[in-house]
Amino acid sequence: MYSKIAGTGSYLPEKILTNRDLEGFMETSDAWIRERTGIERRHVAAEGQGTVDLAEPAARRAIEAAGLAPRDIDLIVFATCTPDYVFPNAGTLLQQRLGCPGGAAFSVEAACSGFIYALSIADKFVRAGEAKHALVVGAEVLSRVTDWSDRGTAILFADGAGAVVLNASAQPGVLSTHLHADGSHRELLFCPGGPGARSGLPAAPAPGFIHMEGREVFKIAVMELGRVVDEALAANRLDRSALDWLVPHQANLRIIQGAARKLDLPMERVIVTVQDHGNTSAASVPLALDAGVRDGRIKRGELLLLEAFGAGFTWGAALVRY
């Protein structure tokens, strides 16, 4: 038994914040942001719009694309680092919205690698025969934990949601997943808050907001993503030339270009949405995947490599026959 992607979906908030808009309230410029990140605009959730509000339409679109109804979903794995509540978890809140109670529903917190982690977990459930139709979601409202006076982070992060449905299949879909973490680099990328803020734990210079040492994160991300890509290909005894598409985490165009060079893939074979979406953490890979599927670039039978790197540090890759 295997799991196979049967449908994809995504959703972005209506409000768009361009680089020009950022020029109006911080010391930055459109040219500076584009040169260093590739980002041109990002979407920001409206007042009162939460993570599950973004996830629901993305999930419904994925379920519809899979030819299913919400009642068919028997597992929800929800990746987010910006949940609406400490508890109940975002998976159960989405389950209630969709109207498919009874199956397991839970959240995964692995920051930008969250969707890869969630996909890996759902794949194992399906392979074990414990789920037939699994909904995997990545959704974030990072604008709520962004210090808009810090140009080092405010230019990067944004809001959005993406989702896929995995069906049980006799044909291989998710060929393998590869997950890693190294908690020794906590101080390079973290966001204090929640119960920890009341426990005397150390906070960032701006408590409650994302703190990132960009250069150090960049160097480690490039190194570890290169390793996990090689690991995924070696595990399946495949050469880089077998890949049809790279669907990377949309953090920074330079990191994406570096990954493509390592794989000897032209940028025309890489799904890039960072210019329009910014860094949406756990939502970025499924957002990019849905964009590639819906505009017709990604076709059935093609081989995809999904990869991501995030706070923790966590990182991972998935090799998928779409």
What would the DSSP string read from start to end of 238-250?
--GGG--EEEE--
Give the pLDDT confidence score for residue 9 in this predicted structure.
98
Residues with Cβ within 8 Å of 79's Cβ and at least 6 positions away in sequence, in order, are 107, 108, 109, 110, 114, 115, 117, 118, 136, 137, 138, 139, 282
Q: Which tokens belong to 78?
A: 């929800």
249 is catalytic: yes
Average pLDDT along the chain: 95
Q: Which tokens belong to 40?
A: 């041109």
Sign of CA dihedral 49, 251, 149, 195: positive
- Active-site residue among 43, 178, 211, 249? 249
Q: Map tokens 């599927």 to a residue.
A: 293
Burial class (CB in 10 A: 0-12, 13-18, 19+), 226: middle
| Residue-wise pLDDT tens digits, 269-279 | 999 999 999 99
Distances (CA, A) of 239 to 156, 233, 289: 33, 6, 22
| Residue-wise pLDDT tens digits, 225-262 | 999 999 999 999 999 999 999 999 999 999 999 999 98
d(CA 59, CA 63) in angstroms, rounded, equals 6
- Active-site residue among 112, 167, 178, 191? 112
Angle at 133 between CA 225 and CA 168, to 5 degrees: 75
Burial class (CB in 10 A: 0-12, 13-18, 19+), 99: exposed
Sign of CA dihedral 256, 42, 77, 85: positive
d(CA 3, CA 125) in angstroms, rounded, equals 9
Asked if residue 197 has pLDDT above 90, the reply is no
Which H or E run includes 12?
A: none
d(CA 301, CA 318) in angstroms, rounded, equals 15
Three-state DSSP class for residue 56: helix
**Side chain identity, residue 294:** R
What is the percent of the chain where pLDDT is above 70?
96
Asked if residue 200 has pLDDT above 80, the reply is no
| Residue-wise pLDDT tens digits, 122-147 | 999 999 999 999 999 999 999 999 99
185 is catalytic: no
Asked if residue 89 has pLDDT above 80, the reply is yes
Give the pLDDT confidence score for residue 205 in this predicted structure.
64
Q: Which of 104, 54, 107 is nearest to 79 (CA)?
A: 107
d(CA 43, CA 40) in angstroms, rounded, equals 11
